């Protein structure tokens, strides 16, 4: 009897994902990044760091816990439109994000990328941004493959608090300017 009990399906509750799954996500008027540019980093807007040229924020609908978005403060659609100083800050903050995520979650790998244009898969094609995702062996399992659902073991508010604390320490150590 013990063997049978160990194979019983257990419920997995993630009610905060329902709006996304049924297509009732927040309707944003204007650019997702531009509407947050003037805001102070907070859990509400998911911005964890703002530099002179780039902001770092959590993806509200992440592929994995800690999925970060780095967006230039200037509204441009491609990295070749960024100034040299904005490009340098974007690169430095991508390193800071990797270090932050290593410290917070000890991932086995990372996906880092920029999708330029809708044809390349950019969800916000008019405002270029970089994705930094921590990855683990087996993080794409049957839930992703069959149910088209991702299981995230940590609430986004917990993720926000953890990553903001760590990124602040790393930025202070590197003496990177922030706003």
pLDDT digits (tens, 9 = 90+) for 53-107: 999 999 988 878 899 999 999 999 999 999 999 999 999 999 999 999 999 999 9
For the ranges 7-21, 25-39, 41-55, the one whose mean pLDDT is highest: 41-55
Q: With 90 as the cut, is the pLDDT of residue 11 above it?
A: no
Whether 64 is covered by a domain: the verdict is yes
| Residue where the block lists tokens 């044809």 | 119
- C-alpha 122/C-alpha 56 separation (Å) is 17
Average pLDDT over residues 150-159: 76
Tell me if 10 is assigned to some domain. Answer: no
Structural domain includes residue 71: yes
Mean pLDDT of all residues in 13-36: 65
Burial readout 12-24 (b: 16 or more C-beta within 10 A, e: otherwise): eeeeeeeeeeeee
CA-wise closest residue to 150 among 26, 67, 45, 56: 67
Which H or E run contains 104? helix 84-105
Residue 135 and residue 64 in contact, taking contact as beta carbons nearer than 8 Å: yes
Q: Is residue 92 part of a domain?
A: yes
The answer to whether residues 57 and 45 touch, using CB atoms and an 8 Å cutoff, is: yes
Q: Is residue 84 part of a domain?
A: yes
Tell me, yes or no, whether 34 lies in a domain.
no
Q: Tally the domains of the chain.
A: 1
Q: Which domain holds residue 110?
A: 43-174
- Measured distance CA(109)–CA(83) in Å, rounded: 29
More confident residue, 138 or 25: 138
**Is there a domain that residue 17 lies in?**
no
């Amino acid at each position: 009897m013990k063997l049978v009990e160990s194979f019983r399906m257990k419920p997995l509750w993630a009610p905060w994902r329902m709006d996304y799954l049924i297509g009732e996500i927040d309707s944003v008027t204007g650019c997702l990044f531009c509407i947050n540019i003037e805001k102070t980093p907070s859990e509400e807007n998911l911005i964890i760091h703002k530099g002179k040229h780039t902001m770092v924020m959590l993806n509200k609908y992440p592929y994995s816990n800690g999925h970060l978005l780095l967006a230039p403060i200037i509204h441009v659609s491609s990295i070749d439109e960024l100034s040299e100083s904005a490009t340098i800050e974007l690169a430095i903050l991508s390193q800071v994000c990797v270090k932050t995520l290593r410290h917070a979650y000890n991932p086995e790998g990372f996906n880092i990328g920029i999708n330029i244009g809708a044809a390349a898969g950019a969800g916000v094609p008019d405002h270029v941004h970089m994705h930094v995702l921590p990855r683990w062996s087996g993080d794409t399992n049957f839930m992703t493959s069959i149910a088209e659902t991702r299981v995230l073991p940590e609430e986004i508010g917990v993720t926000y608090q953890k990553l903001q604390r760590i990124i602040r320490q790393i930025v202070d150590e590197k003496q990177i300017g922030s706003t």
